[in-house]
Amino acid sequence: MNHNKRGVLTRLKTLVNSHSQGFHSPAPKRPKQDPSSTENDLDYSVCRGRIDVSKWKTLDAEELGITSSMISYPSQFVLKLLRRKGFESYLVGGCVRDLLLNRTPKDFDVITTAKLMEVRAQFRGLARAEVVGRRFPICLVHIKGSVVEVTSFETVARTSNRKEQFLYSLLPKCSNKKDLFRCKNSLRRDFTINSLFYDPFANKIYDYTDGMADLRSLKLETVIPAQMSFKEDPGRILRGFRIAARLGLSLSRETEAAMWKYSSLVKSLDKNKIMIELNYMLSYGAAEPSLHLLWKFKLLEFLLPVHAAYLDEQAIKEDAPASNMLMKLFFYLDNLVACDRPCDCTLWVGLLAFHLTLVNNPQDALVVWAFASVLYHGEWEKGIKFAKEHAKMYVNFAPEIRTSSIYKSDEEIAKAVTKLASLVMHSIPALVESNSLLQSMSRYPSFPQSDMVWSSHLLPLCKSTIISF
């Protein structure tokens, strides 16, 4: 084998390493809070009708298919220790929702009546526990390589005094204090299906927001009125898209209307927070429906402007679903990953750069097959054999793929593959540099422009090189 073919993988890695330095930059500064979402602008009196004691439910967890054996060992350890020390402890949020849907939770969140410093003290000598965060502090308990997030009912109650005081005034006068503090906490959560509590010791599910009804109908509904909820925290819009995409939920009319009205507030969020949410959307098995929702609600043109313009252009075509390569790439990514086995962010970043390269520099089908299969197989002979066998298949991706094979020899293919790798790496600046983004957007002069680049915000998520893809 000649030097060109032997060195193709080495050159691919060299190209990657030479460009990976572009991701290193200082941590971003936190932007000022958007005045439109400050607490003083919110009229919490509209929440008055949301507290309906007649809809409070206490359900048998086992009858709903949930047993304590479904809880991870580290989470069980935390729950049991806190209970032995005399504190109430529950699972809350998305993990309860996922257990009810017979899905594997991404993680298990614990909430307790203990103060966070008390939580930390209980694990002294047993596990490393640390309190982190200022506005929304939590205690991280490290057990057997896992981290369990523990929040306190008291901490949550202190984060928004004006709202808490009003909600407290709406709570019914009843003797069951446990119902009261669970109910008040549920009213601070984003969506009804995320406001359920699970007590593994009593085998009970507690529902104060009619979340079980929404879960049965697979509907996404905010706990407080949607317009207020999204003004209070625009990040809930992104979380709503993520949850709806992953679980196949419909949006309630009120929720959908508010998402349209307040989607622009997402731009005021800290970019690190945006990137974390985007990573959750694209790494955990629901990338394709997440991208579709972001595009539908015009947020993709802010987050990934070049790819949004591509989707707009593709939508004009009669055969758009069949020829949309970007969505196909992420559809197949979703088949490879799941909530309990997510991919590293370098995979979806690589796919975005790879697709952008093909849009700007259409390639022969054989070269694309060779590029992908050599990376997958890790050696030239197997990769090129696989590519030649599959390049004969008909594909209908325009403008990305040229169907005619113009390459005759393995050496010519190796040169083309190396060039493609270089082009992929040179597409990265369109994601991290404003000037390169504007240059890429020049291909779509009639589409909305955005200055959203990742530069200093992608590094916390991407610590390895793009070659992981």
What string of pLDDT tens digits covers the 469 residues of the chain? 454 555 555 554 444 444 444 333 333 333 344 434 445 556 655 565 567 777 899 999 999 999 999 999 999 999 999 999 999 999 999 999 999 999 989 899 999 999 999 999 999 989 999 999 887 899 999 998 899 999 999 885 455 566 666 666 666 666 588 988 898 899 889 999 999 999 999 999 999 999 999 999 999 999 999 999 999 899 999 999 999 999 999 999 999 999 999 999 999 998 888 989 999 999 999 999 999 999 999 999 989 988 999 999 888 875 555 568 999 999 999 999 998 889 988 889 889 999 999 999 999 999 999 999 988 888 888 888 898 888 878 778 888 988 766 667 888 899 999 999 999 888 887 777 777 777 777 777 777 666 665 544 454 444 343 444 3
pLDDT at 436: 74
> At residue 73, what is the residue type?
Y
Same domain for 373 and 424, yes or no, is yes
**Both structure tokens of 289:** 């429906």
Question: How many whole angstroms separate alpha carbon 167 and alpha carbon 229?
Answer: 14
Q: Evaluate whether residue 23 is within a structural domain.
A: yes
pLDDT at 166: 64
Q: Residues 6 or more apart from 77 whose CB is under 8 A from it? A: 127, 143, 148
Same domain for 100 and 197, yes or no, is yes
Q: Evaluate whether residue 159 is within a structural domain.
A: yes
DSSP secondary structure, 352-407, as one string: HHHHHHHHHS-EEHHHHHHHHHHHHHSSHHHHHHHHHHHTTS----TTTEE-S---
pLDDT at 35: 38
What are the helix (H) ranges across 263-319? 271-283, 287-296, 300-303, 305-315
pLDDT at 16: 42
Same domain for 327 and 438, yes or no, is yes
Please give the model's pTM, rounded to 2 decimal places.
Answer: 0.83
**Which residue bears the tokens 């994601």?**
431
pLDDT at 117: 95
Comparing CA positions, the residue from 74, 176, 156 lying closest to residue 115 is 156
Same domain for 70 and 199, yes or no, is yes
pLDDT at 27: 36
Q: Evaluate whether residue 325 is within a structural domain.
A: yes
Same domain for 14 and 66, yes or no, is no
Please give the tally of structural domains in the chain: 2
Q: Evaluate whether residue 279 is within a structural domain.
A: no
pLDDT at 41: 58
Q: Which of 200, 216, 232 is the last residue of a domain?
A: 216
Question: How many whole angstroms separate alpha carbon 98 and alpha carbon 194?
Answer: 9
User: Is residue 400 within 8 Å of 358, Cβ to Cβ?
Assistant: yes
Q: Evaluate whether residue 244 is within a structural domain.
A: no
Q: Evaluate whether residue 57 is within a structural domain.
A: yes
**Both structure tokens of 285:** 């098995």
CATH of the domain at 186: 3.30.460.10
317: phi then psi, degrees, rounded to nearest 5: -70, 145
Same domain for 54 and 197, yes or no, is yes
Cα distances from 189 to residues 22, 79, 147, 225, 357, in angstroms, run 38, 21, 22, 12, 41
Same domain for 12 and 55, yes or no, is no
Same domain for 459 and 335, yes or no, is yes
Same domain for 15 and 68, yes or no, is no
Same domain for 8 and 128, yes or no, is no
pLDDT at 50: 63
pLDDT at 121: 96
Same domain for 344 and 401, yes or no, is yes
Q: Evaluate whether residue 248 is within a structural domain.
A: no
Q: Evaluate whether residue 271 is within a structural domain.
A: no
Parallel, antiparallel, or unpaired for β 109-112 and 401-402?
Answer: unpaired
Same domain for 360 and 341, yes or no, is yes
What are the helix (H) ranges across 89-152? 94-100, 116-122
For residue 370, give its domain range: 3-28+317-468
Comparing CA positions, the residue from 360, 305, 358, 306 lying closest to residue 328 is 358
Q: Which of 169, 184, 216 is the last residue of a domain?
A: 216
Q: Which of 177, 194, 216 is the last residue of a domain?
A: 216
Q: Residues 6 or more apart from 321 whose CB is under 8 A from it? A: 327
Radius of gyration of the chain (CA): 25
